[in-house]
Chain A
Amino acid sequence: MATVSEVLIAIFIVFGGVFGLVGSYGLLKLRETMQRLHGPTKATTLGIGCVLIASMLFFFLIKGNLSIHELLITLFLFLTAPITANFIAKTFIIRNLSKDTLPESRSDYGWSVYDDPPTLTEE
């Protein structure tokens, strides 16, 4: 006996699983390290997102109690994913690229990977 809500939840779970696998398969398929940064973003946003939506729908439609705290996980992952990607890119830059191959930073200070942050000077 497959009701509409069960079909909807199953579709979301299957989509989440497929996108999670696609995100991890990107680690295997892409050649360069900087390209591999693109793969797990799909697993983070679409994979986890679909799984959490399925979980919310399951507890709302089947169990009958509305739970919001799945959205906390989504919010936390959406907040931390850019920071993580930025740090991993910086790690790659400092280990594999030299300062000469980077373009100019077009400001008064150099790239934050190589130079110390500007300090406040008292006038």
Chain B
Amino acid sequence: MITAALYFAFACFGLGLLICMWRLLVGPDSADRILALDTMVINVIALLVLYGILEGTAMYFEAALLVAMVGFVSTVAYCRFVLRGDIIE
């Protein structure tokens, strides 16, 4: 039962990744593209945690935490670059 629910959630988050990819390609403004990248990071975190449940190991939480941190830093860096033309002043 858990396995079926896991596959359903995999399909949901994969479809969400595809939608984010479409918004990343189409998005009329760079704010849309940054938002799509941020949402992709969130979907990837969820996929990593779900894969950890499927495999039954706790090893993927460290990976999920690292992806969360790198995603936040990259989003802020991209916004800083658009806002100020420089990341670290």
Task: State the A residues within 8 Å of B (CB).
Answer: 2, 6-7, 9-11, 13-14, 16-18, 20-21, 23-25, 27-28, 33, 36-37, 39-40, 43-44, 47-48, 51-52, 54-55, 58-59, 63, 67, 69-70, 72-73, 76-77, 80, 83-84, 87-92, 94-96, 113
Contacts and interface: CB of A to CB of B under 8 A. Distances in A.
A20 B12 contact: yes
B9 A51 contact: yes
27 contacts: A13-B5, A13-B6, A17-B13, A20-B12, A27-B39, A28-B19, A28-B22, A33-B28, A33-B32, A43-B39, A48-B42, A48-B45, A51-B49, A54-B53, A55-B49, A55-B52, A59-B58, A67-B58, A69-B65, A76-B69, A77-B42, A84-B75, A87-B80, A88-B38, A95-B29, A96-B29, A96-B31
Interface of B is mostly: helix
B76 A51 contact: no
Interface residues of B, number: 50
Interface of B: 1-2, 4-6, 8-13, 15-17, 19-20, 22-23, 28-32, 34-36, 38-39, 42-43, 45-46, 49-50, 52-53, 56, 58, 61, 64-65, 68-69, 72, 75-76, 79-80, 82-83
